[in-house]
Amino acid sequence: MIKLIHITDPHLVAPGEILHGLDPHARLVACIGDVLAHHADAACAVITGDLAHRGEAPAYAALRAQVDRLPFPCFPLLGNHDLRAPYAAAFPDAPDDGGGFVQGRLDVGDASLLMLDTLDEGRNGGLYCERRRAWLERQLEQTSQRAVYLFMHHPPFDIGIPCLDRIGLSDPEAFARLTAGRPNLRHLFFGHVHRPVCGSWRGIPFSTMRGLNHQVPFDLHTVSPVPKSHEPPAYAVVFLEADQVTVHFHDYLDRSTLPERAGKAMP
Ligand SMILES: [Fe+2]
């Protein structure tokens, strides 16, 4: 079994700054601390984008410092709030597909993790252009006999929440043509939506969860602007096995416990 950590949308600003009434740096520090305390045996972690809220250099530096606390590889991917140049300055060793995009592959046991770059800098919607698709096609061909897991910021489909669907991935059909007919595609992990969603898309199971800072409420009507909420942050602990994928969403700041577990009598 392979254990991996999925984190998304930390939306970091400079340490000490507040965003939407919350402290994103403190939440990231607490998240990494929780992972270290309980999941230091993970094989790797992937952060599916919106690393910084406005692409600030101090935010990427702060992220780097936290990622470096982990005893296993961690792959911070790009989201629509990110900027390539300050990201690259903080993460010169980031995955590189040879074409300037933050895309890479990690083989762990029988699994191949493919990390994708959907950033269209300056736009909230995502893009998976022809050059990126060519890289992915090569990777999918090379891993056709392996269990493959995809990681990306923008989901390549609508989820029924209008404020998010309007800033989705451009040309999702081009992406869908690449992934069609590949039964070894085991799961798709993404970010961007700031709330727990799971299901399957054209036969591929998918999951995402709340980000580390602010969330998007369950609102099936608002189109713009994107509403925000203070629902609790989460990260996911994922178990990959030959015949099963299990995703545990963990509200890591929730310390509530039943009285009997705290050694007290039930009321
Ligand atoms: Fe986000």
What spacing in Å lies between the alpha carbon of 186 and ligand 1's midpoint? 24
The count of structural domains within the chain is 1
Alpha-carbon dihedral sign for residues 104, 35, 184, 176? negative
What spacing in Å lies between the alpha carbon of 144 and ligand 1's midpoint? 31
Does residue 40 sit within a domain?
yes
What spacing in Å lies between the alpha carbon of 119 and ligand 1's midpoint? 12
Does residue 264 sit within a domain?
no
Host domain of residue 50: 2-254
CATH number of 231's domain:
3.60.21.10
Give me 178's structure tokens.
């690449």
Weakest-pLDDT range from 131-135, 236-240, 263-267: 263-267
Write the pLDDT tens digit of every residue in 35-74: 999 999 999 999 999 999 999 999 999 999 999 999 999 9
The pair phi, psi for residue 164, each rounded to 5°, is -95, -35
Does residue 152 contact residue 118 with C-beta atoms inside 8 Å? Answer: yes
**CA-based nearest residue to 71, from 32, 102, 107:** 32
What spacing in Å lies between the alpha carbon of 22 and ligand 1's midpoint? 14
Q: What is the pTM of this model?
A: 0.96
Does residue 152 sit within a domain?
yes
Mean pLDDT (the chain, rounded) = 96
- What residues does the ion ligand 1 have nearby, CB within 5 Å? 9, 50
What is the C-alpha separation between 123 and 140, in angstroms, rounded? 28
Q: List % helix, strand, coil for the chain (3-state, nearest 5).
A: 20, 25, 50
Does residue 150 sit within a domain?
yes
Write the pLDDT tens digit of every residue in 135-186: 999 999 999 999 999 999 999 999 999 999 999 999 999 999 999 999 999 9
What is the C-alpha separation between 23 and 45, in angstroms, rounded? 22
Does residue 207 contact residue 150 with C-beta atoms inside 8 Å? Answer: no
Does residue 190 contact residue 151 with C-beta atoms inside 8 Å? Answer: yes
What spacing in Å lies between the alpha carbon of 50 and ligand 1's midpoint? 5
What spacing in Å lies between the alpha carbon of 47 and ligand 1's midpoint? 11
Does residue 107 sit within a domain?
yes
Q: Percentage of the chain surpassing pLDDT 70?
A: 97
Does residue 228 contact residue 20 with C-beta atoms inside 8 Å? Answer: yes
What spacing in Å lies between the alpha carbon of 178 and ligand 1's midpoint? 25
What spacing in Å lies between the alpha carbon of 194 and ligand 1's midpoint? 6
What is the C-alpha separation between 251 and 255, in angstroms, rounded? 9
Question: 3-state DSSP call for residue 13?
Answer: coil
Give me 129's structure tokens.
């252009």
